[in-house]
Structure 1
């Protein structure tokens, strides 16, 4: 029990240090980008005096350490700052856009769980047969290989060119029309789902195949247990740890893929908000958006680690996951 609590406390501390590191990296990175905020706002014809006045007005002329500690102090108090461009609270902008990205992510994850895990179990169980789930393996390989911007561009062209029952665009803000919002997010969610389903199916297949060769599976067969009972009570639980670990990777993929997909499909979510902030060199927007995305990923990873240790206590004792 003590070792488990110590391991859990270590994971929490590691998550907090990771967020601190992300905050430092993103704060420095956005200021190293070519072209400052004053260049984007004032344009190339502005005088040096006008540029200096604008920089001073937003406190961008202060030492970078002073700017960082002022910003992180505000964040710790729940204040994400003001947008340099729109002069509105960044928290207000995020509150409008996070539900959009959340719906997109939830739709992709649900489709991944419903399709990817059963497909992986089926492929793993049939791996010793003649067909061996060859079709599923080929589809899985293609899904992992095709980048989301390529697949998204193809989907936009096909559904814009032909009347297939789903429209591209026409996004309705969450809360105004749930049905219209769901329809507008369906195609982008399906594009994101392709990689997630393929990766989940492949990981589940490998995990199932590894469990099937364990001695306790042979003992279950010798006792006369049915295949479905063996899969439910012996295979899925032991194969669950690699799948839980993959969910952390999928979360990172969805957060990164949302940037591309939301831009392609013109969806006003967190990803497109971040891209707009980068284009405008709106430091407060980019810092808040990246820090929020990192917080979501770190939190999900932490929860998955704790679930993994609950499923297999040996993880907390040895610090390693059973493969």
Structure 2
């Protein structure tokens, strides 16, 4: 019990330090980008005096440490700042766009585990069969190797060129029409799901194959238990930890992939909001969007670590996942 509490406290501290590190990195990174905010807003013909006045008006002439601690102080109080370009609250803009990205990510995650886990179990059980092992390797390798922007471009062309029942573009906000929003997100979610399904199937297949050679599975076979009972009660439970760990990686991939997919499909989500902020050098927008995405990833990883410990207490005792 004491080792579990100590391990959990260490994970909470690690999550906090990770978020602090992300905040520092993104704060410095956006200011090292070529072309400042004043260059984007005023253009190349502005005088030095006009540039200096604009920089001073937004406090961008202050030392970086002063700017950083002022920003972090606002974030701790729940204030994500004001967009330098639109002069609107960043928190309000995020609140409008987060549900779109959340729905896109949730659709991809549900499809990933609904397809990837059964496919991985099937190919793992049939790994020695001619149709199981080879087919599983081919499908997973193909899905992992196709870049999402290539697949997304192909999907946009095909569904724009031919009437296949799904429309590209024409997004409606979730609060206005849930059905229209769901329909508009089907194709983007499908593109995001391809890689995730392939990675989940590969991980599940390897985990199932590792568990199948364990002695307790052989003992269950010797007792005459039915194959699917063995898979359900002996294999999946022990193979669950690698699959849970993969969920954290998939969450990070989906948050990163949403940037490309939302831009390709012209979806008003968090990813496109971040890209627009980068183009305009809108520091407040980029900092808030990246920090939010990092927070989601860190929280999901922390929850998965705690679930992993609940499934296998040896993780907390040894400080690593058991094989």
Q: TM-score, normalised by structure 2?
A: 0.99
1:198-213 map, 5 Å: 198-213=198-213
Offset, 1:322: 1.8
Residues 1:107 and 2:107 aligned together: yes
Match of 1:289 in 2: 289
Offset, 1:61: 0.2
Residues 1:248 and 2:248 aligned together: yes
Match of 2:306 in 1: 306
Structure 1 residues 104-113 or 134-143, which shifts more? Answer: 134-143
Alpha-carbon separation, structure 1, partners of 2:179 and 2:217: 46
SS at the partner of 2:132? coil
2:122–2:132 CA contact under 8 A, matched in 1: no
Flag structure 1 segments of 5+ consecutive residues without an equivalent: none
1:167-182 map, 5 Å: 167-182=167-182
Offset, 1:69: 0.2
Alpha-carbon separation, structure 2, partners of 1:178 and 1:71: 35
Flag structure 2 segments of 5+ consecutive residues without an equivalent: none
Residues 1:234 and 2:238 aligned together: no
Residues 1:93 and 2:72 aligned together: no
Match of 2:154 in 1: 154
Offset, 1:173: 1.1
Residues 1:7 and 2:7 aligned together: yes
For residues 142-170 of structure 1, the C-alpha deviation after alignment (integer angstroms, 9 at most, x for no partner) is 00000100000000000000000001000
Match of 1:274 in 2: 274
SS at the partner of 1:138? helix
Alpha-carbon separation, structure 2, partners of 1:155 and 1:28: 37
Alpha-carbon separation, structure 2, partners of 1:252 and 1:39: 32
Offset, 1:139: 1.2
Alpha-carbon separation, structure 2, partners of 1:136 and 1:219: 27
Match of 1:126 in 2: 126
Q: TM-score, normalised by structure 1?
A: 0.99
RMSD of Structure 2 on Structure 1 (CA)? 0.6
Match of 2:221 in 1: 221
Offset, 1:136: 2.7
2:8–2:306 CA contact under 8 A, matched in 1: yes
Alpha-carbon separation, structure 2, partners of 1:72 and 1:208: 45
Offset, 1:137: 2.1
1:13-28 map, 5 Å: 13-28=13-28
> Displaced runs of 4+ in structure 1, greater than 3 A?
none
Alpha-carbon separation, structure 1, partners of 2:132 and 2:108: 27
